[in-house]
Amino acid sequence: MRSYATLLMILCYILCTEKLYTACRLLYSDCVMVDDSGTVASTKKTQPIVLAIHGGAGTIRRGSMTPEREAEYRHALAEALNTGYAVLKRGGTALDAVSAAVVVLEDSPLFNAGRGAVLTADGTVELDAAIMDGKTLKAGAVASVRGIKNPVLLARKVMEHTPHVMLVGLGAQRFAREQGVQIVHDKYFITKSQRRELERMQRDNKPSDNKPNSKQSMDEFPRPSSRGQVQPDTVQIGKTRAYYRKIRSGMLRSVYIEERQHNQKFGTVGAVALDMFGNLAAATSTGGMANKRYGRVGDAPIIGAGTYANNATCAVSATGHGEYFIRNVVAHDIAALVEYKGLPLQRAASEVVMRKLVECGGVGGVIAVDALGTIAMPFNSEGMYRGYINADGQMYVGIYRDGE
């Protein structure tokens, strides 16, 4: 085919039929790269395929993890990577890949999504998830759903079979039944470790909705500074107003974030992918914050906050303290820095996670990939369960900050 296309292109060039020459040049460039002079430059490169995943961020310390437990986490992350990457390898779409990877993480009791989701203050499980197609900008999300084995699959049903973006609560569950999405008993989600965690939190009287107790006046709560410094969500017992004034001035920002991270693990799961067609996709799923009340919903199902994908920029899935990710529209902010400021993906992701979030007290991280196959995985917490298979087919799985 190349020889015939080359001969036809030369004849057209000699005969000065510009339109036909251009058509033949395009035909030829499907086989090889052609420079502006019409000469062969190099063999056309194969479109890269890339997959990255996360299993949550927070206070994840090597010293507090047994070798056996660490091996379980690494195996689960590798399984999710292999499952999603296999989809890409056989020509599947980025949407199919992120769905497959997240389903593996949802089915694992190790992560705060699906099977291992944390419990609400009432001892139930309320799940959130979102998915987004970078090619079409279509998205689907569900929030505060119960009994849905794999919320990410329900979110995709919302995207593909409704004119809406988000369905919540009972309405979403009714839609799930109509769509034949697998529904399981509440007991499926409630593990012994999650029950113990809820009992511990309630014993320590630390509801994660950060509501002040009746003995605290609202005047005790620090107000935002004009410079947008850290604004704690709650006053901790034994802390003085002077302590919080120092936080607002930036003097104790790192100390405050460290204390916020203690005993916290933001166990969202997510995946981002680039497929052989050059399309991006992102998906995120979570059980939210342990001991949450009042139907609290975090950033995971909020398009632009915890989940975002756009072929023109990047695909992002976030994990962390959701309220901060929502306020800072983290996922879209990264994409905006790429699109409008022209920042490389890694620099854009670090700008948001390592500077903007830190300045306002937000803890967590993101995974992101762009159309070139560049991967970014910044996090400002002590650890983040994460992994990727890059454009060269190389796999990486990480947990800690200390270079593994």
pLDDT score at 242: 44
Picking from 90, 138, 128, the residue whose alpha carbon sits closest to that of residue 319 is 128
How many helices (H) and strands (E) in the chain? 13, 15
149 neighbors 182 (Cβ within 8 angstroms) = yes
- pLDDT at position 8 is 45
- Which entry of 83, 268, 284, 307 is annotated as an active-site residue? 268
* CB-based contact 145:168 (threshold 8 Å): yes
Are 102 and 79 within 8 A, CB to CB? no
Q: Are 188 and 157 in contact (CB under 8 A)?
A: no
User: Distance (Å, rounded) from C-alpha 187 to C-alpha 130?
Assistant: 24
Q: In terms of DSSP bridges, do strands 50-58 and 127-133 run parallel, antiparallel, or are they unpaired? A: unpaired
Cβ distance 260 to 363 under 8 Å?
yes
Every domain of the chain and the residues it spans: 2-43, 50-193+264-400
pLDDT of residue 378: 98
Q: In a 10 Å sphere around its CB, with 0-12 CB exposed, 13-18 middle and 19+ buried, how is residue 276 labelled?
A: middle
Question: What is the side-by-side strand order in the sheet with 364-370?
Answer: 307-309, 314-320, 364-370, 375-376
The DSSP secondary-structure symbol of 148 reads B
Determine contact, residues 369/386, Cβ cutoff 8 Å: no
- Predicted pLDDT of residue 196: 87
* CATH code assigned to 50-193+264-400: 3.60.20.30
Q: What is the pLDDT of residue 58?
A: 87
Query: Is 268 annotated in the active site?
Result: yes
For position 92, what pLDDT does the model report?
Answer: 98
State the Cα–Cα distance between residues 372 and 368, nearest whole angstrom: 12
Residue pLDDT tens, the chain, 404 long: 444 444 444 444 444 443 343 334 333 334 333 333 333 333 346 899 999 999 999 878 888 889 999 999 999 999 999 999 999 999 999 999 999 999 999 999 999 999 999 999 999 999 999 999 999 999 999 999 999 999 999 999 999 999 999 999 999 999 999 999 999 999 999 878 888 888 988 888 654 544 433 333 323 333 333 333 333 333 233 333 443 344 344 443 443 444 343 444 567 999 999 999 999 999 999 999 999 999 999 999 999 999 999 999 999 999 999 999 999 999 999 999 999 999 999 999 999 999 999 999 999 999 999 999 999 999 999 999 999 999 999 999 999 987 65
